[in-house]
């Protein structure tokens, strides 16, 4: 069965780790409660801890071109 593109799927094209809303909240641009800001920060932290390494390993094995882009972007700025 072929996956169909929906507007929600297509909006993912514009993000890497963070959604625009997460950026607004974490940067303090969005007026949200401290509790909500903490929740968003926790969500992003957990996303990185639990999934980033697995995704990078997957890309190394299955999509080397994008893996190289990730390494270049992350390692060149360190």
User: Which residues neighbour 2 within 8 Å (Cβ) at sequence distance 6 or greater?
Assistant: none
Query: Is-above-0.85 flag for pTM?
Result: no
Q: How far apart are the first and last CA of the chain?
A: 42
What's the pLDDT score for residue 72?
94
Residue 68 domain-assigned (yes or no): yes
Residue 4 domain-assigned (yes or no): no
Specify the number of domains making up the chain. Answer: 1
Contact between 25 and 40 (Cβ < 8 Å): yes
Token representation of residue 68: 């190289």
Give residue-wise pLDDT tens across range 2-56.
555 545 554 556 788 999 999 999 999 999 999 999 999 999 999 999 999 999 9
**Cβ density class 9-30: b for 16+ within 10 Å, e for less:** eeeeeeeeeeeeebeebeeeee
What's the pLDDT score for residue 10?
46
Please give the residue range of the domain that contains residue 61.
11-76
């Amino acid at each position: 069965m072929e996956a169909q593109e929906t507007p929600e799927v297509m909006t993912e094209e514009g993000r890497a780790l963070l959604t625009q809303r997460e950026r607004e909240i974490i940067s303090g641009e969005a007026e949200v409660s401290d509790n909500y800001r903490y929740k968003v920060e926790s969500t992003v932290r957990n996303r990185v801890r639990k999934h980033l390494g697995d995704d990078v390993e997957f890309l190394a094995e299955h999509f080397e071109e994008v893996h190289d882009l990730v390494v270049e972007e992350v390692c060149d700025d360190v």
